[in-house]
Amino acid sequence: MSRRRLFLDDAPGELRGVVTLDDRPERLLIHRNDDEPRLALGARVAARVADVEPALATAFLDLGDGLSAVLPFRPDQRPVRGHAIEAEIRSEPRGGKLATVRAIGRSEGPPRLLAPAPSLTDQLRLLAPKALVEQGPIARQAADEAEAEALEALSALPGGGAIVIEPTHALTAVDVDVSNRKGGDAKRVTRQANLAAIAQAARLLRLKGLGGLVVIDLAGRGHDGDALLAAARAAFAPDNPGVAFGPISRFGTLELTIPRRIRPVLERLCRDDGSPGDRTLAQGLIRRLMSEAEAQPGARLAGVCCPAVARAAEPLLRKLAERVGDRVEISAAPEYPRDRLEVVPR
Supply the pLDDT for residue 334.
97
Q: What percentage of the chain has pLDDT greater than the value 70? A: 99
Per-residue pLDDT at 260 exceeds 90: yes
207 and 164 within one domain:
yes
Comparison of pLDDT for 273 and 302, the residue scoring more: 302
Closest CA to 96 of 247, 267, 344, 243: 267
Report the domain count for the chain: 4
24 and 135 within one domain:
yes
Which pLDDT tens digit goes with each residue over 276-304? 999 999 999 999 999 999 999 989 999 99
21 and 95 within one domain:
no
> What does the alpha-carbon distance between residue 153 and residue 204 come to, in Å, rounded to a whole number?
10
Kindly write down the DSSP assignment for every residue of 232-284, as one continuous string.
HHHHTGGG-SS-EE-PPPTTSEEEEEE---S--HHHHHB-TTSSBPHHHHHHH
Closest CA to 60 of 15, 11, 68: 68
Per-residue pLDDT at 311 exceeds 90: yes
> What does the alpha-carbon distance between residue 210 and residue 274 come to, in Å, rounded to a whole number?
15
pLDDT band, residue 19 (cuts 50/70/90): very high
215 and 83 within one domain:
no
Comparison of pLDDT for 298 and 144, the residue scoring more: 144
Average pLDDT (328-340) is 96
158 and 235 within one domain:
yes
Per-residue pLDDT at 183 exceeds 80: no
**Residue 219: enclosing H or E segment and its boundaries?**
none
209 and 181 within one domain:
yes
> What does the alpha-carbon distance between residue 90 and residue 78 come to, in Å, rounded to a whole number?
18
pLDDT band, residue 223 (cuts 50/70/90): confident
Amino acid symbol at 111: P
Would you say the pTM of this structure is higher than 0.75?
yes
236 and 169 within one domain:
yes
Supply the pLDDT for residue 1.
55
Q: Per residue in 13-49, is it b (16+ CB within 10 Å) or e — as a string?
A: bbbbbbbbbeeebbbbbbbeeebeebbbbbbbbbbbb
Average pLDDT (8-32) is 97
Per-residue pLDDT at 58 exceeds 90: yes
Which pLDDT tens digit goes with each residue over 71-87? 999 988 899 999 999 99
* Per-residue DSSP letter, 105: E
CATH (domain of 168): 3.40.630
255 and 188 within one domain:
yes
137 and 9 within one domain:
yes
Instruction: Domain of residue 217: give its range.
Output: 152-266
Comparison of pLDDT for 102 and 96, the residue scoring more: 102
